Structure 1
Amino acid sequence: MAVNLPGTTGESESETTAPGGRAEARRRGRRAGGRKARRAGRKPRPWWIELPVMVVVGLAVALLIKTCLFQVFTIPSGSMENTLRVGDRVAVNKLAPLTGWEPEPGQPVVFKDPGGWLPPQPADSNPVAGAATSVLSFVGLVPPKDDNYLVKRVIATGGHTVECKGTALTVDGKKVDEPYLHPGDDSCAGLDFGPVTVPAGYVWVEGDHRSDSADSRYHRQGPGGGAVPVDNVVGPVSAVVWPLGHFDWFGWVGR
């Protein structure tokens, strides 16, 4: 008959004092002690090593975000008011084109100048500042240095026919409802045109401030008849991120 002595747990002596258990406990103790000794023996890296490493890692993360996720652009003119205002910084979704997205009517998009839409950019008067800006622009921490990009709203895509008469903008004969227009503007803003059929692989773009936007309407003599190649489109505007008072979210693929 087993008898539990005072102060015991009722376990058999063979269970609590087995040689194998004691050996395993000693091994665990030695491993734990070794880890503590190694941690205690480590010297903190000096700041002149830690700081460059942190900077490189931060730049790598920023470059990854800019390349695959979002890129920030500055709005330089009032052509998209009041949706986007001068000085607003907008986040453009660069992942969307990589996942099969294609521009759709009604979406604000950023695109590279197809040629002749923007005046030549002045040379930077401060080479050092220009070099620093180029690096920060490359990793996406500041807007592109050359500012060779525009933002407009997609009105029609390849195969659609666009026309403006009087105050009515039509696509394939149907009037386009444009609640985003700048107050006081109508869809044509005194400029009749068309009908224009948008070539395949192109988009027809116009500014929300229709009376202050040199958009597709004014480049009908150029390649594409004023339309912009889809390949030039960086992506849809997803949000106004600065200043915070203008913050607006347009959705993952814009609206």
Structure 2
Amino acid sequence: MTTTPPRPSAPARRSSRGGRAVLVLAIALLLVLLVRTFVVQSFSIPSDSMQPTLDPGERVLVWRVDATDVRRGDVIVFDGTGTFADTPAAPRGLARLGAGIGELLGFRPGESDYVKRVVGLPGDRITCCDAQGRLLVDGQPLEEPYVHPGDAASDVEFDIAVPEGRLWVMGDHRSDSVDSRSHLGSPGGGTIALEDVIGRVVAITWPLGAAGTVERGNGS
């Protein structure tokens, strides 16, 4: 006589399905975290400072880079804490949980992230400006086709030697950008540490009408 094994009860089946769902969700979040940590991240452009290259409200894809893969002319996202912005208080309680979830999804609430263009590399001497109004890099004029139409290369005169391990960065909309020129009296003399670079902007992903790649710089 064959005995039919008892079917799992409804609560047991629901528990099994719930366990699988939790596992799938955990794997998905882990994959998102791994991709975000080691490969790409998404950011929203907050201001006009990078026009006409990037408009406020656009979402961009940022490719993780290391200190050896930053070129003059690259558009980068970096953490300006301690240089461009004061060190914020660490989030607590639910705010900390929300920050962690946002971090997984590509947002960085509560942090001071900036998008600018690399103009000076470690060891460069950057000067404003020559008789034609161009920036000079080690005495040579820098051609900047990306600067906002009608803007000067800089309305602020400066002459700075970029320290080793640091970068001089500026917005493309020079008349509407708070960048290295605005922080000459800050730690680092307006420069940012290579270790604070989050990544290089490689593409605009939203809105769809503006989607496209962002060319990297040619300067070494």
TM-score normalized with structure 1 length: 0.71
Q: Which of the residues 102, 111, 127 maps onto 2:78?
A: 111
- Which structure has more helix as a fraction of its residues? 1
Q: Does 1:52 align with 2:17?
A: no
Tell me the C-alpha RMSD between the 2 structures. Answer: 2.6
Instruction: Kindly report which structure 2 residues correspond to 1:104-253, keeping only aligned pairs within 5 A, or say none.
Output: 104-118=71-85, 128=94, 130=95, 133-139=98-104, 141-165=105-129, 167-188=133-154, 190-194=155-159, 196-250=160-214
Aligned residues: 203
* Structure 2 gaps, min length 5: 1-12
Q: Which residue of 2 aligns with 1:73?
A: 43
Residue identity in the other structure for 2:173: H
Contact 2:81 2:111 (8 Å CA) reproduced: no
Please state whether the residue corresponding to 1:63 is helix, strand or coil: helix
Tell me how far 1:136 sits from its aligned partner. Answer: 2.3
* Structure 1 gaps, min length 5: 1-43
Residue identity in the other structure for 1:154: V
Q: Which residue of 2 aligns with 1:19?
A: none
Residue identity over aligned pairs, in percent, reads: 35
TM-score normalized with structure 2 length: 0.82
Q: Distance in 1 between matches of 2:36 and 2:168?
A: 26
Please state whether the residue corresponding to 1:56 is helix, strand or coil: helix
Tell me how far 1:157 sits from its aligned partner. Answer: 0.7
Q: Which of the residues 91, 113, 130 maps onto 2:61?
A: 91
Contact 2:60 2:203 (8 Å CA) reproduced: yes
Tell me how far 1:135 sits from its aligned partner. Answer: 2.9
Q: Flag as ranges the 4+ runs of structure 1 deviating above 6 A.
A: 119-124
**Bigger Rg over Cα:** 1
Tell me how far 1:123 sits from its aligned partner. Answer: 9.9
